[in-house]
C-alpha cells in the first residue's frame, strides 16, 4: 500500500521534471541553435543597439524636463525656522533696553510665491519642452532605419557569400563525378593518364576555391555576428533554406507620393526643431515684458525672557524716611502700580500671539540695459531662418535618396531579368555540352568553358537578385 502511494507521488514530479527539461532544451535551441532570418537579425540589432538605448534615455530625460516646466507654474511653498542663544550683554527685544542676561529666542515662518505674469515665458517653455520630447522619438525612428539598412546590408552580403560558396561546391561535386568517370575510362583504356591527371589538378583547384569561398563566407558571418553583438563562439547561421524569391514580391514599383515625405522621421524631426526654435524666439521676446509676482508670508517668534507681570495699585506708597529719631516715613501723594508677581510666557503661547501676516505684490520691468535680450532675440530669429533652410535641404536629400534607391532597384531588377534569361540559356548550353562531353565529342577544356559560364551566370543572377532585394527594402522605409 505504501509502495503504491509512493508511485502516485512520483508521477507528478516526473511530469514536472519532463516539462522543465523541455523548456530548457527549447531555450537552449533558441539561444544557441537558432537559424536567423533577415527579420530576426533586424529585431536583434534593434534590441541590442547602444545608440537606440542612449536615445531612449534622452527621450526619458525630455519627458522629465517637460513635467518640470509644468511644475514651474505651481506656486512655491517654503518653511523656515531659526533659533538664537545670546550670552552676556545684549539688547532686550521686548523693550530694547541694555541687559546682561542669557536669552534663548527663535522664529518660524511659512511663505509662498507665484508668478502672475512673465511675458508668457513659462507657457512657451512648456510647449517647447513638449516639442523637444517629441523630437526625441523621431530621432529614435531615424536611428532604427539606419540600423535596418546596415543589418540588411550585412545579411545580404553574408547571403551572397553563401550562395557563391554553394555554387563552387556544386562545381566541385560535378568535377568529382567527372573524375570518377575518367578513372573508369582510364581503367577501360579509353583515355590517357594525362586526361585523368588534368581532371585531378582541376579538382585540386576547385577544392582550393571552395575553401577560400568558405573562408569569405565565415568572415561575412562573423561580421554579421559582431554587428548583432552575438559572441563569435556561439552557434549562428542565417536562413539559407528560404530563398529570396523575387516573384513573391511586388515587382511594380510605383512612384512615391511626395506629400508623404512630410511623414518621414527625418523631415518630421527637422519640422519639430523649427517649432522648438520658434517657441524659443517667443520666450526671448517675453523677457522684454514686465514680471509680476505675488507672495504671502506667515511668521512668528519667541524669547524665553518674556514674562507676564501681575500689578497692584498702592496708594501713597512710601518714598523714603525723614532723618529724625523716629525715622518718619515719607509717602507720595499719588498712587503707583507695583508688580507683585512674574510668570514666564510659554513658547507656544508666544508663537500664537506674535503672528505676522505679510502680502507682497512685486513688479519688475527692466527699462534700460536690454541690449543682451535683444541680441538673443536676433540670434533666435537667425536660427529659425536657418532651420527653415535645413527643412528644404532635408526634403531635397530625401527625394534624391529615394530616386537613387528607386533607380538602383529598377536597374537591379532589369539586370535580374536579363540574368535569368542568360542563366537559363547557360543551363541549356551546359546540358548539351555535358552530353557531348560524355559522348567524347568535345574535350575537357571546352566542357569546362561551358561549366564556368554556367556558374558565372548563376553568380551574376544571385548578385542582381540580392541588389534588387536590398534596394527594395530601402524603398520600404519611404512608405
If you ran DSSP here, which 8-state letter would residue 34 be given? Answer: P
Say whether 107 sits in a helix, a strand or coil. Answer: strand
pLDDT tens, position by position, 440-468: 787 777 888 888 888 888 888 888 888 88
CA distance 231 to 382: 50
Domains of the chain, earliest start first: 36-74+118-290+365-476 (1.20.1600.10)
The whole-model pTM stands at 0.72
Q: Which portions of the chain are predicted below pLDDT 70?
A: 1-33, 90-96, 98, 190-192, 241-260, 308-312, 314-333, 336-342, 479
Pairing assessment for the beta strands 35-36 and 237-238 based on DSSP bridges: parallel
CA distance 137 to 139: 5
pLDDT tens, position by position, 52-65: 999 999 999 999 99
CA distance 92 to 105: 11
**8 Å CB contact between 387 and 274:** yes
pLDDT for the residue numbered 144: 93
Nearest 5 degrees, angle CA 210-CA 215-CA 217? 90
Contacts of 200 (CB under 8 A, 6+ apart): 179
What would the 3-class secondary structure string for 421-458 be? HHHHHHHHHHHHHHHHHHCCCCCHHHHHHHHHHHHHHH
The candidate with the shortest Cα–Cα distance to 284, out of 120, 476, 73, is 120
pLDDT for the residue numbered 20: 57
**8 Å CB contact between 77 and 110:** yes
pLDDT for the residue numbered 386: 96
CA distance 464 to 244: 11
CA distance 269 to 265: 6
pLDDT for the residue numbered 309: 64
pLDDT for the residue numbered 7: 46
pLDDT for the residue numbered 337: 67
pLDDT for the residue numbered 315: 67
pLDDT for the residue numbered 5: 47
- Chain-centre distance for alpha carbon 438: 64
Contacts of 25 (CB under 8 A, 6+ apart): none
Classify burial at 350, counting beta carbons within 10 Å of its beta carbon; exposed 0-12, middle 13-18, buried 19 or more: middle
Report the mean per-residue pLDDT for the chain: 81
Q: Which helix (H) or strand (E) holds 2?
A: helix 2-32
Amino acid at each position: 500500500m505504501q509502495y503504491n502511494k509512493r508511485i502516485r507521488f512520483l508521477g507528478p514530479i516526473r511530469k514536472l521534471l519532463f516539462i522543465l527539461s523541455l523548456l530548457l532544451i527549447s531555450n537552449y535551441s533558441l539561444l544557441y541553435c537558432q537559424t536567423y532570418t533577415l527579420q530576426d537579425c533586424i529585431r536583434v540589432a534593434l534590441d541590442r543597439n547602444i545608440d537606440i538605448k542612449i536615445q531612449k534615455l534622452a527621450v526619458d530625460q525630455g519627458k522629465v524636463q517637460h513635467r518640470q516646466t509644468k511644475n514651474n507654474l505651481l506656486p512655491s511653498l517654503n518653511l523656515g525656522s531659526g533659533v538664537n542663544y545670546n550670552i552676556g550683554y545684549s539688547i532686550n527685544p521686548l523693550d530694547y533696553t541694555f541687559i546682561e542676561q542669557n536669552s534663548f529666542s527663535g522664529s518660524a515662518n511659512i511663505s509662498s510665491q507665484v508668478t502672475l505674469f512673465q511675458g508668457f515665458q513659462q507657457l512657451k517653455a512648456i510647449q517647447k519642452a513638449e516639442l523637444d520630447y517629441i523630437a526625441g522619438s523621431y530621432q529614435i525612428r531615424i536611428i532604427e532605419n539606419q540600423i535596418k539598412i546596415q543589418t540588411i546590408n550585412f545579411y545580404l552580403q553574408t547571403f551572397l557569400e553563401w550562395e557563391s560558396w554553394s555554387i563552387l561546391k556544386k562545381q566541385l561535386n560535378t568535377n568529382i563525378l567527372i573524375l570518377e568517370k575518367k578513372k573508369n575510362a582510364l581503367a577501360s583504356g579509353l583515355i590517357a593518364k594525362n586526361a585523368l591527371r588534368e581532371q585531378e589538378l582541376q579538382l585540386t583547384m576547385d577544392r582550393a576555391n571552395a575553401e577560400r569561398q568558405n573562408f569569405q563566407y565565415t568572415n561575412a558571418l562573423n561580421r554579421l555576428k559582431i554587428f548583432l553583438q552575438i559572441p563569435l563562439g556561439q552557434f549562428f547561421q542565417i536562413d539559407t533554406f528560404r530563398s529570396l524569391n523575387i516573384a513573391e514580391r511586388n515587382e511594380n514599383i510605383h512612384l512615391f507620393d511626395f506629400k508623404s515625405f512630410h511623414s518621414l522621421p527625418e523631415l518630421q524631426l527637422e519640422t519639430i526643431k523649427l517649432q522648438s526654435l520658434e517657441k524659443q524666439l517667443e520666450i526671448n521676446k517675453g523677457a522684454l515684458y514686465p514680471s509680476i509676482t505675488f507672495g504671502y508670508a506667515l511668521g512668528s517668534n519667541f524669547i524665553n525672557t518674556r514674562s507676564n507681570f501681575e500689578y497692584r495699585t498702592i496708594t501713597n506708597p512710601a518714598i523714603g524716611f525723614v532723618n529724625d529719631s523716629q525715622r518718619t516715613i515719607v509717602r507720595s501723594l499719588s498712587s503707583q502700580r507695583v508688580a507683585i508677581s512674574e510668570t514666564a510666557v510659554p513658547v507656544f503661547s508666544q508663537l500664537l500671539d506674535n503672528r505676522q501676516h505679510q502680502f507682497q505684490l512685486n513688479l519688475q520691468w527692466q527699462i534700460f540695459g536690454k541690449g543682451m535680450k535683444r541680441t538673443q532675440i536676433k540670434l533666435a530669429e537667425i536660427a529659425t531662418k536657418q532651420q527653415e533652410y535645413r527643412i528644404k535641404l532635408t526634403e531635397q536629400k530625401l527625394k534624391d535618396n529615394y530616386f537613387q534607391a528607386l533607380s538602383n532597384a529598377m536597374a537591379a531588377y532589369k539586370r535580374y531579368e536579363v540574368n535569368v534569361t542568360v542563366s537559363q540559356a547557360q543551363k541549356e548550353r551546359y546540358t548539351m555540352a555535358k552530353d557531348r562531353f560524355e559522348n567524347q565529342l568535345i574535350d575537357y577544356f571546352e566542357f569546362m568553358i561551358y561549366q564556368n559560364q554556367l556558374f558565372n551566370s548563376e553568380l551574376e543572377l544571385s548578385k542582381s537578385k540580392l541588389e534588387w532585394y536590398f534596394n527594395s527594402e530601402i524603398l520600404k522605409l519611404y512608405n
